[in-house]
Each structure stands twice: as structure tokens, then as C-alpha cells.
A and B are shown apart, each in its own frame.
Chain A
Amino acid sequence: EDQVTQSPEALRLQEGESSSLNCSYTVSGLRGLFWYRQDPGKGPEFLFTLYSAGEEKEKERLKATLTKKESFLHITAPKPEDSATYLCAVQARLHTSGTYKYIFGTGTRLKVLA
């Protein structure tokens, strides 16, 4: 069964304390892996797409990496405004129709303290 697992569920960091969030997946026919940020009361906001093992993407203090079984979202020197829930989603082949489905993890709630 296709599955996406994120860890930890929650993370508290001091401002400037770097860390990593993990997204592990078991899917057939992976096409892409997506990272989103979700603030309270808002819809998820797109951050990155990764398509192949070894690929890396960066944006400000965030860097996403991908292996064959997991992805990491590295946060370097975080600030309080980085506090949010970070969601990982995989895009997997939908049976034989040639289309794709998205499976989301449950997210990591990040709190950065000043």
C-alpha cells in the first residue's frame, strides 16, 4: 500500500538552531515529491518539487533533498517566521490510466522560538 510518513510530528527549535525534517515513502511509480508549508487557517503553500534521487532544491533557509526512499527538509538558522506545519506529498502513478495521485503525510509542526 502506498504510504507517506513524516517525522517528527512536532519540533521546537531555538532561533538559529538548524535541524532536519524527514519524509519517508513507500509508493509504486513515484513521479515526484513535493514539500508544502501550511500556516494556521490557510491552505498549503508550495515550496519544492523533487523528481529524482540525488536532486536538491534550495530556497532561503530551506533545502530539500531526495533519496530513493526518503526526503529531508533541512532548515538552516531558522527564524520565528519559519514556524508552520511542513507537509510532504508524493505523486504516484494511478493504476494504468496514465494519471497520477497525490498522497500527503501528516506533517511536521515546527515552532521556532525567539
Chain B
Amino acid sequence: EAGVAQSPRYKIIEKRQSVAFWCNPISGHATLYWYQQILGQGPKLLIQFQNNGVVDDSQLPKDRFSAERLKGVDSTLKIQPAKLEDSAVYLCASSWASDTQYFGPGTRLTVL
């Protein structure tokens, strides 16, 4: 069974630029999550989708971050404009329902 796929694996941008990350969950998983993990910290949930609807985006900085999950499968997370403090690893995870999450390898973002 293929795992959660993410791309790109690494991205370096300058502050005020925009960036987008892509996630393809495990086939059949209805729930998709985006997390931000700053070095030395645990993952922080940014947004949770159930199929293509948003369940929780209470910790998403909506002035600069946006996410969508069209057709209830793939998802993209966008940052526009990026700030220095956005440097982190962005993890995507999926689960069958509200069950065990399986994580992708993450995208390491560096904002200069």
C-alpha cells in the first residue's frame, strides 16, 4: 500500500514570496491533516479536512495560509506572503476516519 506522498521535499524562498505544498493521501482515507513542525517541537495542526470539507482550521493563520482539498483527495497548502517564522517542516497526514494518522515525509521550508 502506497503511503502519503508530499512534494516538494525541500523549498527555500525569500520572505514575502509565496509557496505551495502538495499532498496525496493514502487511497481511501477520508480525513487529511496539515501540520507545521518547528525544529525541536511537536507537530501543530493547521487544518483538518473530512473529504473536501474543513473540520478544524482554528490554528491556521488565515491572513497568509490557505488550503484546499478538491474532490476530496489531493490537497494543497499555500503560504502567501511567507515570513521568516514560517520556516518549518510541513507534514501531511491522512486517516481512514478519525483514526490512526499516517504521515508523509514532510516538506522542509526555509524562509530567508
Residues of A within 8 A of B (CB): 4, 6, 31, 34, 36, 41-46, 49, 87, 89, 91, 94, 97, 99-107
Interface of B is mostly: strand
**For residue B10, which residue of chain A has the nearest CB?**
A41
* Chain A residues positioned under 8 Å from B106 (CB to CB): 42-43
Residues of B within 8 A of A (CB): 4, 33, 35, 40-45, 48, 50, 55-56, 91, 93, 98, 100-106, 108
Interface of A is mostly: strand
* Chain A residues positioned under 8 Å from B35 (CB to CB): 104
Q: Can you name 6 extra interface pairs (CB under 8 A) apart from A31-B98, A104-B43? A: A36-B103, A42-B106, A43-B93, A44-B43, A44-B91, A106-B42
Given known pairs A34-B100, A99-B98, the reply for A43 and B91 (CB within 8 Å) is yes
Kindly provide the distance from the CB of A82 to the nearest chain B CB, expressed in whole angstroms: 19
Q: How far is the CA of A34 from the CA of B102 in the complex (A)?
A: 11
Decide: A99 and B55 in contact? CB cutoff 8 A.
yes
* Chain B residues positioned under 8 Å from A102 (CB to CB): 33, 45, 101
Decide: B50 and A104 in contact? CB cutoff 8 A.
no
* Chain B residues positioned under 8 Å from A45 (CB to CB): 103
Q: How far is the CA of A63 from the CA of B105 in the complex (A)?
A: 25
23 examples of A-B residue contacts, CB within 8 angstroms: A34-B100, A34-B101, A41-B105, A42-B106, A43-B4, A43-B91, A43-B104, A44-B91, A44-B103, A45-B103, A46-B101, A46-B102, A87-B43, A89-B42, A94-B55, A94-B56, A99-B48, A99-B98, A102-B33, A102-B45, A104-B42, A105-B42, A107-B41
Q: How far is the CA of A40 from the CA of B50 in the complex (A)?
A: 29
Decide: B98 and A100 in contact? CB cutoff 8 A.
yes
Decide: A46 and B91 in contact? CB cutoff 8 A.
no
Q: How far is the CA of A53 from the CA of B4 in the complex (A)?
A: 31
* Chain B residues positioned under 8 Å from A31 (CB to CB): 98
Kindly provide the distance from the CB of A5 to the nearest chain B CB, expressed in whole angstroms: 10
* Chain B residues positioned under 8 Å from A105 (CB to CB): 42
* Chain B residues positioned under 8 Å from A34 (CB to CB): 100-101
